[in-house]
Structure 1
Amino acid sequence: METIQIKGPYNFDLVLDRLSIDPLNQVDIANRSVKVPLLIEGEPIVAIVKAIGTTLAPEFEIEGTEGQYKEKADKRLAEIFQWHTPLEMISEHFKNTDLKEIFEQHHGTPIVLDFSPYNCLLKCIIHQQLNMSFAHTLTERFVKTYGFEKEGVWFYPQPEKVAKLTVEDLRELQFSGRKAEYVIGIAKEVMAGNLNFDELKTKSDEDIFKQLIKLRGVGPWTVQNFLMFGLGRPNLFPMADIGIQNAIKKLYQLEAKPALEEMESYSKGWEPYLSYASLYLWRSIE
């Protein structure tokens, strides 16, 4: 076990609250901890991250990363939980905007990444055009049928396994035919070497958008969510997202959901941290 300290504010309790929405995440609210499945050079590692500090003086105990992959595992944890992001500076940015009260209410909430970029892209595709409850149910079926479990934590099925599945295999889980094709197609792109997530990390948002939008089943909403929760990019605002539309409707007490032009107008003062505006708007209605 090791202990690390980071600069506050950082509200890990709100992090756990949001992570607990996904039934696949092994979150212990009372113990202020979460088990994180990491795949380092093909080796499955279960890390346990436990908060022992406060929002203003964040401190964590980390277990499970000991051994030859420790450095890479610890680096990945810091990336997932965005421990080096200057949240105080971001909060200051929003003090003179219409989101001031929301940022005060959810003070110190970071953007936490999905546990791997590959998982994130698959999850975004599975979640498309579904209500949140069934989206999680469908993802859970997929992972528990074709993934694997270690120490009570589920790992997503890897590309080599998904690429061999048939549409009929996923239809049995209640996937639509097209959604099944899209998920299998992503895995095949990875196996063919056409989709390398380590390489994507080095590219600009625009270049990633141009590459991913060519994939079947990947639209602008999917790419924007992948950039935010797969790679932690700070300036994305998925205006077509129903949750964000509802949050803006609530914030500005509108009679109907805002048009895209309205949303663009509201969001002008939120750059270059649109991703955080998006996150805090989601939090305001969750």
Structure 2
Amino acid sequence: MTTSDALARQLRALLRRNPELRPVAKQAGSFEIRLTPAGFSGLARVICGQQLSVASARAIWGRFETLPGVRDPATYLALDEAEVRATGFSASKYRTCRVIAEAIVAGTLDLPRVETMSGEDATAYLTAHKGIGPWTAEIYLMFCTGHPDIFPVGDLALRNAVGHALGMSKSPTEKELAALTAKWAPYRHAAALLFWKYYAAVMRKTTGTAL
């Protein structure tokens, strides 16, 4: 799903099949598809945004992407750690990106391959590699490959938004959210964007994915 028209079609199909989400969509208002380039740089950007506010992640990424050759895994490996960390990357994020770059250069991590897989298979493939957890894999699949049926159940903003919007007594656990969102397949990309927008518009928070 890589165009505004595709998102609009998916959202209409989601709401037609799940009318209980129509009030949520009305409160959330309009939203657009958001994509960033795939590959090593896209995955590095997802890692950059982990556990940071949107503003902080964007500022750090803005400095990071000015480093010469930083978007290529081979040249990333040649960069000095101090140079990378000076942009705001933590030691753990620097090491995570290095492990991923090494895997890509070695050919053991084939990022283009996930673009042809189902969401479940792509997530399993990515998380089999050191440094890539479920949230990182799902955010990459959504925002870098445009996968149409991904809902990052580990995202705290989404859990809070779904709990609030659907009148639940408390935010669902990851397991509960996975079971709940299963009925929104194969339109879970649109559902995730809908609830992120609901979170921003109704709950008035500023954290969430930094992409």
Aligning the two structures, in what range does the TM-score lie when normalised by the shorter sequence? 0.7 to 0.9
Letter in 1 for 2:198: S
| Aligned counterpart for 1:272 among listed residues 180, 186, 189 | 186
Corresponding residue for residue 107 of structure 2: 193
**C-alpha distance in 2 between matches for 1:202 and 1:269:** 23
| Aligned counterpart for 2:46 among listed residues 124, 133, 145 | 124
Q: Of Structure 1 and Structure 2, which has the larger fraction of its residues in strand? A: 1
| Aligned counterpart for 1:283 among listed residues 173, 197, 204 | 197
Corresponding residue for residue 15 of structure 2: 94
Is structure 2 residue 53 aligned with structure 1 residue 139? no
**C-alpha distance in 2 between matches for 1:280 and 1:262:** 19
Letter in 1 for 2:34: V
Corresponding residue for residue 206 of structure 2: none
Q: RMSD of the TM alignment (CA)?
A: 2.7
Give the SS at the match of 1:173.
coil
Corresponding residue for residue 146 of structure 2: 232
Give the SS at the match of 1:163.
helix
What 5-or-longer segments of structure 1 have no aligned partner? Answer: 1-78, 148-155
- Identical-pair percentage: 27
What 5-or-longer segments of structure 2 have no aligned partner? Answer: 201-211
Letter in 1 for 2:73: P
Whether contact under 8 Å (1:117, 1:226) holds in the other structure is no
**C-alpha distance in 2 between matches for 1:136 and 1:181:** 20
| Aligned counterpart for 1:260 among listed residues 145, 153, 174 | 174
Whether contact under 8 Å (1:87, 1:108) holds in the other structure is no
Whether contact under 8 Å (1:114, 1:120) holds in the other structure is yes
Is structure 2 residue 9 aligned with structure 1 residue 82? no
**C-alpha distance in 1 between matches for 2:30 and 2:60:** 31
**C-alpha distance in 2 between matches for 1:102 and 1:191:** 44
**C-alpha distance in 2 between matches for 1:281 and 1:264:** 14
State TM-score, norm by structure 1: 0.60
Is structure 2 residue 172 aligned with structure 1 residue 250? no
**C-alpha distance in 1 between matches for 2:182 and 2:14:** 13
Whether contact under 8 Å (2:104, 2:110) holds in the other structure is yes
Deviation digits for residues 53-107 of structure 1, max 9, x if unmatched?
xxxxxxxxxxxxxxxxxxxxxxxxxx7x426627335413314433213334667
Give the SS at the match of 1:85.
helix
**C-alpha distance in 2 between matches for 1:99 and 1:226:** 25
State TM-score, norm by structure 2: 0.79
**C-alpha distance in 1 between matches for 2:24 and 2:39:** 28
**C-alpha distance in 1 between matches for 2:117 and 2:180:** 28
| Residues 143, 202 of structure 1: alpha-carbon distance in 2 compared, 3 angstrom cutoff | same
Corresponding residue for residue 121 of structure 2: 207
Q: Please state how far the C-alpha of 1:174 moved relative to its aligned partner.
A: 2.9
**C-alpha distance in 1 between matches for 2:108 and 2:11:** 35
Q: Please state how far the C-alpha of 1:230 moved relative to its aligned partner.
A: 1.6
**C-alpha distance in 1 between matches for 2:138 and 2:176:** 19
**C-alpha distance in 1 between matches for 2:10 and 2:46:** 29
Report matched runs for 1:7-156 at 5 Å: 81-82=2-3, 85=6, 87-88=8-9, 90-95=11-16, 96-104=18-26, 109=31, 111-146=33-68
| Residues 178, 93 of structure 1: alpha-carbon distance in 2 compared, 3 angstrom cutoff | closer
Whether contact under 8 Å (1:117, 1:231) holds in the other structure is no
Q: Of Structure 1 and Structure 2, which has the larger fraction of its residues in helix? A: 2
| Residues 110, 211 of structure 1: alpha-carbon distance in 2 compared, 3 angstrom cutoff | same
Deviation digits for residues 111-161 of structure 1, max 9, x if unmatched?
3321334332111111122222222222112112345xxxxxxxx632222
Corresponding residue for residue 82 of structure 2: 168
